[in-house]
Amino acid sequence: MWQFEKGLKATVMSTELIIEANVSKSVLYKALNFAREFESTYSAYRADSLLNKINDNAGIQAINCSAEELDIFEKSLAIAQESKGIFDPTIGIITQGLFGFGKSNAKIPTEHELTTAKKLVNYKKFHLSQTSAFLKEQGMRLDLGGIGKGYVGDKIIQILQENGATKGFVSVGGEINAFGKKFTFAIKDPFSQNDVIALLKTSKEPISIATSGDYERFIKSQKYHHILNATTAKQNYYYTSLTLLKNGIHSTTLDAITTIIFNSPPEELEALSKKYEIAIIAISHKKKIIFENYINIKLNSIELFAFQ
């Protein structure tokens, strides 16, 4: 599927990173190093990361950051404000602190724990200056898991293009950017280990694709999946799989928007498709496929299959 002169695969941010482009090996490694540096800076799992330095100083003091380090925080806050908190980068007290997603001590919190911790999820109390970041209340925690992979994907495309790439493909755990070449991407059937439910055949125009679901990351059962509504601190069950497509290189936006749309009922999908200028392929737990395409996504074709 991905026949390029140059390419690499690596594990970064606990997920698979694939980069393929018509550039030198040194450029590919430059892109890989960016992803690794991002992980060391923003990982919720590294005690010495900038993210956890900000977390550890919540309610105490602001932490100095460069303009480059502040960029993803600024983008996260913009989406949080636009979504009125459905997406919220301060949800770390729930995702990391209570559920412990990705940790060996993951557990299902009690209603009392959720109600108490939910009071500390508030993007309006995450303050950025031109040189610092500050969580205003003790106990607050940042978690960029809902936007980080998309952000890395966009930045890698930028690195490739700045170094002469005319065709390329980047996948960061399923957050996909592609340009300059025709590709075929498969969407996994969420009810089967081996089947696919759709094939997306791209044109050479730049495109971003984001897929998320409740079937790969959960605690004990899909009832406790990782895609939380930050305003309720709970899971919704409208869909088991969600794929978004947008013209251009926009994985940062799409990554965050998947959280918003995953927590939005089916009757709102048409309006959301129009609002964000995206195509939506949503699959319900009853094996119903919902397709909304307000704009003309630059694909050669979208083929949807019936469930077996």
Chain-centre distance of CA 14, in angstroms?
Answer: 13
* Distance between CA atoms of residues 279 and 215, nearest Å: 22
Q: Span 125-130, mean pLDDT?
A: 98
Q: What share of the chain is helix, strand, coil (3-state, %, to 5)?
A: 30, 30, 40
pLDDT attached to residue 10: 92
Cβ-based burial of 123 (10 A; exposed 0-12, middle 13-18, buried ≥19): buried
pLDDT at 4: 47
Q: How far apart are alpha carbons 194 and 87 in whole angstroms? A: 31
Q: CB within 8 A of 57, min separation 6: which ones?
A: 63, 134, 135
Q: What does the alpha-carbon distance between residue 138 and residue 47 come to, in Å, rounded to a whole number?
A: 17
Edge-to-edge strands, sheet with 126-128: 63-64, 132-135, 126-128
- The mean per-residue pLDDT over the stretch 301-307 comes to 73
Task: Assign domain 50-135 to its CATH architecture.
Answer: Orthogonal Bundle (1.10)
CATH code at 182-304: 3.10.520.10
- List 188's β-bridge partners, or say none: 196
Whether pLDDT at 211 is above 50: yes
Enter the pTM of the model: 0.93
pLDDT in tens, 271-301: 999 999 999 999 999 999 998 876 677 776 7
Place 6 in a pLDDT band, splitting at 50, 70 and 90: low
Tell me what pLDDT residue 2 has.
Answer: 42
Phi, psi of 187 (to 5 degrees): -100, 125
- Within 10 Å of residue 56's Cβ, how many Cβ atoms? 12
- Indicate whether 308 pLDDT > 50: yes
**Token pair 């089916």 in the structure block, residue:** 266
Query: Over the stretch 135-167, which tens digit does the pLDDT of each residue have?
Result: 999 999 999 999 999 999 999 999 999 999 999
Which token pair is 151?
């952000």
Q: What is the CA 18 to chain-centroid distance, rounded? A: 16
Q: Within 13 Å, how many C-alpha atoms sit on residue 139's CB side?
A: 9
CB burial of residue 204 (10 Å; 0-12, 13-18, 19+) = middle
For 273, list phi and psi in degrees, rounded to 5: -60, -40
CA distance 145 to 221: 20
**Residue 66 reports pLDDT greater than 60:** yes
Ordered by start, the domain boundaries in the chain are: 50-135, 182-304
Tokens of 157: 């495309």
Distance of CA 46 to the CA centre of its chain: 19
The sign one gets for the Cα dihedral 234, 235, 238, 241 is positive
**pLDDT above 90 covers what percent of the chain?**
72
Higher pLDDT, 303 or 269: 269
Which one is predicted more confidently, 75 or 229?
75
* pLDDT tens, residue by residue, 236-283: 999 999 999 999 999 999 999 999 999 999 999 999 999 999 999 999
Reading the block at residue 279, the tokens are 């195509």
When mean pLDDT is compared across 119-133, 166-180, 223-237, the lowest value belongs to 223-237
- Dihedral, 154, 156, 161, 166 alpha carbons, nearest 10: -90
Determine contact, residues 171/12, Cβ cutoff 8 Å: no
